[in-house]
Amino acid sequence: MSCFCSIVPPEVFRRLSKDPKLPADLRAGFADAAAIGNQMRVVREQARRLTSLTSALMPGQAQLAPVAAKPDVTLYDCTHGTNLPGAPVPNPEKSSDATAKRAAVETRAVADFYQQLFGRNSIDDAGMTMLSSIHYGVDFNNAFWNGTQMTYGDGDGKIFVDFTRGNDVICHELTHGVTQYCLQLAYKNEAGGLNESLSDVFGSMFRQWRGGQTVANADWLIGKDIIGPLASARGYTCLRDLADPSATHCLAPQPKHYSKYKTGMDPHESSGIPNYAFYLIAKGIGGKSWEKAGRIWYQAATVAGPKPNLRMAAFAKLTRTAASTLFSGDQKVIKAVDAGWKAVGL
């Protein structure tokens, strides 16, 4: 199974494309989105393998080249076509196109988030240009990282709205790029669930950071800001909820205990287990999620080197080790990490 790292799970598309209560044009749009996803999986897997091969054959080569102080943020407009990257958008952060401006501003903010909080210089930690394309396709219902760039659809305006409206969506997808250059997790089985979970965790943290929220007043929802009026009328408030992964208000509910994990489970589904562990740990520590829990997660994700087939128990061990290393004198943090993983069966 290869990786098409998108915010909306393929199961949601399959379910909505067969929903008789939806208009035929919407159902067809979801079927088209699923088909595009199938093709993009090939592109994404090739990029992951190339990254892995390059790092193995030329270790340390990135450090030999001059590194920019901060990455460039570039934006392209597909103008509702599907040829990537599209036409360049000059000065996107000052664009009169709200989608262009949001994509550029929030991508720059993601770069600042990783640099200021974790000391990371862009996706690859070597100043990689952060390239994005907007207005992909006609009413396209997804946003995705294809191994080299970000792409955003405008949504159909009913189930989903413009995907740049969710800053957690933007960070979620860019974090797939970070994972590509760190753990290099495969997109299947437990490693796939961890891959998706890392993106949800850092996407949620980013949204909280942008809003100045503590773990107590954050809502912990993923995709809240891209839910359209028709989905909202059906009672959906988000794609996923780190605080309550199996809740019925989630368009893509997840299990939250390892006992519910099954080999071959879709990564968007199995990611609920480590998602819930992070939520419990962050709440147990208190304060702001990125200050302690986030640092632990970042260290666990970046210091171990490539581990494409990493299992959840092994990742839990990495976070326990990171907690003891970073906060050796803080038993509250160490105990919270241990208790959070035990609560989900790990």
Q: pTM of the prediction?
A: 0.90
Distance CA 249, CA 223 (A): 12
Which residues form the domain of 27? 5-181
When pLDDT is cut at 50, 70 and 90, the band that residue 14 belongs to is confident
Are 20 and 127 in a shared domain? yes
Question: Which CATH number covers residue 212?
Answer: 1.10.390.10
When pLDDT is cut at 50, 70 and 90, the band that residue 1 belongs to is very low
pLDDT given for residue 275 in this prediction: 98
Residue 78 neighbours by CB under 8 Å, 6+ apart:
84, 85, 86, 87, 133, 134, 135, 136, 137, 151
Q: Is the pLDDT of residue 142 over 80?
A: yes
From 155, 181, 207, give the residue that closes a domain.
Answer: 181
Are 206 and 247 in a shared domain? yes
Mean pLDDT of the chain: 91
- Averaged pLDDT, 75-91: 97
Are 263 and 146 in a shared domain? no
Are 195 and 161 in a shared domain? no
Are 15 and 121 in a shared domain? yes
Are 158 and 243 in a shared domain? no
Q: 173, 190, 196, 269: which is the annotated catalytic residue?
A: 173
Are 176 and 197 in a shared domain? no
Are 173 and 242 in a shared domain? no
Q: 135, 172, 176, 268: which is the annotated catalytic residue?
A: 268
pLDDT given for residue 53 in this prediction: 54
When pLDDT is cut at 50, 70 and 90, the band that residue 23 belongs to is confident
Are 177 and 194 in a shared domain? no
Lowest mean pLDDT among 19-23, 154-158, 178-182, 192-196: 19-23
Count of structural domains, the chain: 2
Q: What percent of the chain has pLDDT over 90?
A: 80
Q: Is the pLDDT of residue 308 over 80?
A: yes
From 154, 181, 208, give the residue that closes a domain.
Answer: 181
Residue 39 vs residue 316, higher pLDDT: 316
From 152, 181, 210, give the residue that closes a domain.
Answer: 181
pLDDT given for residue 292 in this prediction: 98
Question: Which CATH number covers residue 76?
Answer: 3.10.170.10
Hey, which residues does 150 pair with through a beta bridge? 132, 145
80 as an active site residue: the answer is no
Are 240 and 107 in a shared domain? no
269 as an active site residue: the answer is no
Are 197 and 177 in a shared domain? no
Are 119 and 164 in a shared domain? yes
